[in-house]
Amino acid sequence: MDFQSSKYPAAPGVYLMRGSDGQVLYVGKAKRLRNRLRGYFSAAGDGRGHIRFLMARVATIDTIVTDTEKEALILENLLIKEHRPRYNIDLRDDKTYLSLRIDLNEEFPTVNLTRRVVNDGALYFGPYSSTGAIRSTLKTLRQVFPLRQHDLATCRRRGRPCLYFQLDQCSGPCHGKISAPDYRKLVDGVIALLGGRESEVLADLQRRMTRAAQELRYEDAGALRDQIRAINKSVEQQKVVIAAGGDRDVVGLHREGGEVEIALLCVRQGKLLDRRDFNLDWRLDEDELLSSFLREFYAREVLIPGEILLPFLPSDSATLGEWLSERRGRKVTLLAPQRGPRAELVQLAARNASEAQRERGSRRAARTTLLNDLAARFHLPVLPTRIECFDISNIQGSFNVGSMAVVINGEPEKSAYRHYRIREISGADDFAALGEVLRRRLRRGIEEGVLPDLLLIDGGKGQLGAVVAVLEELGLLGRVAVVGMAKSRVRANVRGKAVERSEERFFLPGRKNPVTLRQGSAVLFLLERLRDEAHRFAITHHRQLRGKAALQSTLEDIPGIGAARRKLLLKQFGSVKKIRAAQLAELLAVAGLPETTAREVFAFFHSQQV
């Protein structure tokens, strides 16, 4: 395209580069749009490897002017999320992270698990990538500080404290078993322990234990001793302690060819809690790479510490710092340390990034070997980088559902899994249901240009024939390969006892005899895992539908109960079981439920118990 600098404003804003089809290829921000865009078209070129490929596809450039550079940064994030441009960073982090949340505005605060970190005035601790680690942490907390574990309103409707109170893992605030000031001391202890101030907590418990022993309250002293031991054991299991204390994230970067590996170390109260790795196929200069990574990562609902250590400061670090401070609600400092403990942390993160890239390269080579072996065994025309497996689930023809599990480059891609409700077929006709699901999937794939290289079908020749018919109908036979996977058969003796299990059999179109794979082979393991994933995914969805239908039918059999009142009752009591156990006075107290309807609900469940 021809560039005329006078067309573009010399003001801060955002630019969108579009292809000839109008698709957004790249979104960027600039302090001065005209100067930034001129760089793409200068005689010397932009100087970045990927730009020549990008500019060859750009047909038009749209701009949006903002008042400040920070507004441009925020708008850029919104547009990237909306359009997902090919040439912008797309972070793919296969881990989910948990945090612990304490809301001090509650009457009796407690510790909750959450995956969302929002600026709501509550305290957050973490992150924790290991479910086992966070459960261990909670177990220790409940042994030492017995905070409530259930919803306060629900507990107060009970006639007595819950089982956790009997196990000394809840102090019973819902039934007045502890005063508000004493309960707040427990909360303060939890905050101190999660905040890394174990010495304060241990010193307080030691004083209380000594006092209890002096007053001959040996049972109380023994309980305090056990609490001290539990904390010491938990502290011993913490990760390495960093010389530079406090809360901070540390970013390390390693570049090799067209790939970049970024490692982010999470340090909380001087302890290294976790490492996150991001692999990017990226040819931008490192300044824009690092700036884009920070904007993309911290735009998500994650904990933002007060200090972020970087290998270098990007050119827009001041704007980034202001934006991060707003998101956190407190000041955030970006630093690129040159010496001392902080610089050593950045070097540690860089070594982790280098090691992560080395490990990723080894795994990639192993996956390529695996896919080549699979293609050779099944005589596939192309490497099966995208494999999709389908399964059908029903009970005597009811609640017919289909599922699709996906493997990309030898690894499960759970974001691509899909459920399908069978609409056109009634009864237990698995062949027809499979045909309906495949038509819907492949027609959409043709429209979007995303088709599988290999279809794996859970079944033998019958299912394979149904799939081949669909591929012929859509003109995809020969373009999309298909394999039918029949379960192994068990041979039994005259007494009915299993004596031998046959191998898994794989059926190919146009081939009479099945293909078998060596037991324990990597290819067999991959295909068995994919089939089991599709089956699990279908069964899970099927159970959810059955449970929902059973729930709706139970409540809607009651006169005067429709969708709105069903939702009201479930919100108030939590489950049908608790509605059934509710007393008439409790039902009458539900706001928005008429008295006659409350009596109908009570009569319905209690007449069933007669």
Domains recognised in the chain with CATH numbers = 5-83 (3.40.1440.10), 248-358 (3.30.420.340), 386-544 (3.30.420.340), 557-609 (1.10.150.20)
Q: How far apart are CA 465 and CA 438, in angstroms?
A: 13
Q: How far apart are CA 586 and CA 569, in angstroms?
A: 11
Q: Which of 58-72, 259-273, 549-563 has the highest mean pLDDT?
A: 58-72
Q: What is the pLDDT of residues 36-81, one digit of tens each?
A: 888 777 655 554 555 666 777 888 888 999 988 888 888 888 888 8
As a whole-number percent, the residues of the chain with pLDDT over 90 amount to: 14
Most distant CA pair in the chain: distance in Å?
Answer: 90
What are the contacts of 581-586 at 24+ separation with CB within 8 A?
586/157
Q: How far apart are CA 200 and CA 198, in angstroms?
A: 5
Model pTM greater than 0.75?
no
Output the pLDDT for position 239. Answer: 47
Q: Could you tell me which of 66, 65, 31, 45 has the C-alpha nearest to residue 3?
A: 45
Average pLDDT (487-491) is 61
Whether residue 312 is predicted with pLDDT greater than 90 in this model: the reply is yes
As a whole-number percent, the residues of the chain with pLDDT over 70 amount to: 83
Q: When comparing pLDDT for 265 and 604, which is higher?
A: 265
Q: How far apart are CA 488 and CA 491, in angstroms?
A: 10
- Asked if residue 127 has a cis previous peptide bond (ω within 30° of 0), the answer is yes
Whether residue 307 is predicted with pLDDT greater than 60 in this model: the reply is yes
Average pLDDT (198-215) is 82
Output the pLDDT for position 92. Answer: 62
Output the six-digit token pair for 601: 């609900």
Q: How far apart are CA 78 and CA 84, in angstroms?
A: 10
Output the pLDDT for position 610. Answer: 38
Average pLDDT of the chain?
81
Whether residue 238 is predicted with pLDDT greater than 60 in this model: the reply is no
Whether residue 498 is predicted with pLDDT greater than 60 in this model: the reply is no
